[in-house]
Every structure is written in C-alpha cells, then in structure tokens.
Amino acid sequence: MTPFTTRDFRPADAAALAALARRAVRETASDAYTAPQCAAWAARFDDATAWAQRLQDAWVRVAEDANGAIAGFGAIQMSGQIDLLFTAPEHTRQGVASLVLADLLELAAAMGAGTLSVHASDLSRPVFERHGFRVIESRLVDCGPEQLRHHAMQKP
C-alpha cells in the first residue's frame, strides 16, 4: 500500500502548489539544468493571479503523504495536454509522480481524449516514458532569459 493518496485540487491549494513547483525546480531540476535555467523556470510560478487561473483552467490532482502534507501534483487540460507534474523534493523517487499521472490518465480516458501530449523536462521524461509516452521532438524552449530542453511527447 502506498503511503500517498490523491485528491482533487482545492483553490486554497494554489499557493502551496506554486511553492512546491518552485522548490522542485530549484532543488530537483538542478540535476539536469543550470542554476540560471532553474531560476528562470521557477519564476514562472511567481504570478499568483496567473497561477491560480492556470490551475482553475485544468483538472488538477494533488498527492498527499500520510500526514496530509502535499507531496506532488499534476494537471491536465481538456485537450488531453498534461500541463504540470511536480513532486516535492523530499518525495522524489517514491512513486508520487506515477500516482498522480495515473489519475491524470484516468481523467483523460473519462474525457475521451484520443491522444495525450506533454512537454516534458529532462527529469520528467522517464516517468512519462514508463507510462507509454514517446518523444516526438526534443528542442530548446525559451524560459525568460534562458533556454531549457523540453521533449514533446505523445501517448495514443
């Protein structure tokens, strides 16, 4: 039995999810990206209004540990585009991302999405591959003053 459970996003979660995303980028993503790249990426979660809207425009699932602390989250758009998938640094490699992604895949099936897509980071690419996604294209994308390598992936 996994020590994590998932639930639906609540608007009150928005600030905590932004903080988790910033920590994940600054701490975990530093294994694959430079400090300036991580800083530019983390800054994308600083605009509270835009962040709240982004979460409201998607279906978001939140993972919690046995104590109710947020361990990770993910979001999917109605189009079948997975928009977000982050795990708290202290919970990496414990199955959180896979648990949340499984929820997102169930939501996609319920929506009738024929093809799922994601723009994955170097770090998240392996978890998507384990769930049947395949790389269509890898490229550099602008992120503020920096560029980051992302992978356009799809799953039928």
pLDDT at res. 26: 94
pLDDT at res. 41: 93
pLDDT at res. 2: 61
CA angle 42, 57, 69 (to 5 degrees): 55
Residue 89 forms part of a structural domain: yes
Residue 14 forms part of a structural domain: yes
Query: What residue numbers bound the domain in which 75 lies?
Result: 5-113
Q: Which amino acid is at 69?
A: A
Residue 17 forms part of a structural domain: yes
Distance of CA 22 to the CA centre of its chain: 11
Mean pLDDT, 10 residues at a time, the chain of 156 residues: 87 96 93 91 94 95 96 94 95 94 92 90 93 95 90 94
Residue 119 forms part of a structural domain: no
Q: What is the CATH number of the domain that holds 34?
A: 3.40.630.30
Residue 27 forms part of a structural domain: yes
Residue 93 forms part of a structural domain: yes
pLDDT at res. 1: 47
pLDDT at res. 68: 94
pLDDT at res. 45: 95
- Tokens matching residue 77: 């758009």
Is the separation of the CB atoms in 92 and 99 below 8 Å? no
Residue 18 forms part of a structural domain: yes
Is the separation of the CB atoms in 73 and 17 below 8 Å? yes
Beta-strand ranges (E) seen in 65-113 are: 70-76, 81-87
> Which pTM value belongs to this model?
0.92
Domain count, the chain: 1
Residue 31 forms part of a structural domain: yes
